[in-house]
Amino acid sequence: LNMSTIKIAVIPGDGIGKEVIPVGMRALEAAGRKHGVEFEWTEFNWSCETYHQTGRMMPEDGIEQLSKFDAIYLGAVGFPGVPDHISLWGLLLPIRRAFDQYVNLRPVRLFEGVPCPLVGKQPGDIDFYVVRENVEGEYSSIGGIQYEGTEHEIVSQQSLFTRRGTDRIIKYAFDLAQSRAKKHLSSATKSNGIYHSMPYWDGRVAEIAQSYPEVNVDQFHIDILTANFVRMPEFFDVVVGSNLFGDILSDLGPACTGTIAIAPSANINPEKTFPSMFEPVHGSAPDIAGQGIANPLGTIWAGAMMMQHLGLPEMHDSLMQAMESVLREAEHLTPDMGGQANTLALGAAVVAAIEHAA
């Protein structure tokens, strides 16, 4: 891997994905100019629009095309007119699975300048990670429907938890907790209601915990855990969950810090056998698409996580510092954060902050 030129596959996707990705690219380039890093971007127009034209979200050899890149930078996919399970199973899930991106890492942080919907929380109070299992669990296509269209319809949907898949995500979360000051891991479960998989999950957490004596571990059923995100977000440090529970928690967490639009999501293949994929948490936002007011910060933060993953922490830090300084100035904020700036203005402010940083 030649670190001075990074080859990125760019998939802007649908809706506001096409508005925020170019802004993220400009921010990365600005940081690159500071740190001697160049980007070679290759753009793919795979999206719901492509689906309408070709019947596919991406070409048959799409995975093979992507495999040559250092990383994938994704906006959002999904748009009215194409059922969400088609867009998800036609692009996002195949990429996550083919490239064994089994960690979905989503930071949750309360920044100065962003109005917090929880009363009395200060910047710094909320600072944790959700670690979500990203390739198995509840998100499976195994199951079926029988006696369809009759009163006797039977639907089954299988969850799959493998020993390998469960252990590796739990270990990743323990390693992350071990590396942080609080060294505190919380596990999301529902072993009171879900009879097989969740007691199994709890058992794996308990066994793996023995190898991490310094990490404080607790577990919560998913229902009270969601309540605790709202009641006491400052309690959490690293939270690990299955695919479904992690998905829910990783939208709720950022929402507790003011807006999901600044939250990033890293789909990581920790072994670096395959490219990892970085995207904002939010979707294509059809309700505001085309208006030029989407918040690009989730995409910029995703870009920062991409730099961290590729072993360029100084690039990551440049982008994060710029984001923090821009958020402190109300004039730069987009409407979702209570401001009046548009996508391009906020992006330009981030670029300026990178350029003017010491």
Q: Does 77 bind ligand NAI (CB under 6 A)?
A: yes
Q: What's at 21, amino acid-wise?
A: I
Which one, 244 or 345, has the nearer CB to Mg ion? 244
Count of beta carbons in the 10 Å neighbourhood of residue 56: 14
With CB under 5 A as the contact rule, which of the stretches 29-37, 161-169, 245-253, 306-314 interacts with Mg ion?
Answer: 245-253
Nearest in space to 110 (alpha carbons), one of 98, 126, 97, 130: 126
Joined tokens for residue 67: 């495999």
Q: Does 79 bind ligand NAI (CB under 6 A)?
A: yes
With CB under 6 A as the contact rule, which of the stretches 30-38, 52-60, 278-286, 306-314 interacts with ligand NAI?
Answer: 278-286
Q: Which does 26 bind (CB under 5 to 8 A by kind): Mg ion, ligand NAI, none?
A: none
Inter-residue contact 208 to 174 (CB < 8 Å): yes
Binding mask 298-337 for ligand NAI (x = CB under 6 A): x-------------------------------------x-
**Of these, 257, 284, 325, 342, which contacts ligand NAI (CB under 6 A)?**
284
Q: Does 288 bind ligand NAI (CB under 6 A)?
A: yes
Inter-residue contact 243 to 132 (CB < 8 Å): yes
Q: Does 247 bind Mg ion (CB under 5 A)?
A: yes
- DSSP-based helix, strand, coil % in the chain, nearest 5: 45, 20, 35
β-pair partners for 160: 137
Which one, 88 or 98, has the nearer CB to Mg ion? 88
Q: Does 133 bind Mg ion (CB under 5 A)?
A: no
Q: Is 111 left (phi over 0), alpha (psi -120 to 50) or beta?
A: beta
Local structure of 300: helix, strand or coil: helix
**Of these, 38, 40, 84, 329, which contacts ligand NAI (CB under 6 A)?**
84
With CB under 6 A as the contact rule, which of the stretches 125-133, 266-274, 280-288, 349-357 interacts with ligand NAI?
Answer: 280-288
Which one, 247 or 279, has the nearer CB to Mg ion? 247
With CB under 6 A as the contact rule, which of the stretches 64-72, 103-111, 179-187, 294-302 interacts with ligand NAI?
Answer: 294-302
Q: Which does 116 bind (CB under 5 to 8 A by kind): Mg ion, ligand NAI, none?
A: none
Provide the minimum distance between the beta carbon of 241 and ligand NAI in the complex, in angstroms, as a whole number: 17
Count Cβ neighbours within 10 Å for each residue of 199-222 and write b for 16 or more, e otherwise.
eebeebbeebbeebeebebebbbb
Torsion, Cα of 3, 318, 301, 326 (10° steps): -160
Q: Does 127 bind Mg ion (CB under 5 A)?
A: no
Q: Which does 294 bind (CB under 5 to 8 A by kind): Mg ion, ligand NAI, none?
A: ligand NAI
Q: Which does 247 bind (CB under 5 to 8 A by kind): ligand NAI, Mg ion, none?
A: Mg ion
Residues ≥6 apart with Cβ < 8 Å to 252: 226, 229, 230
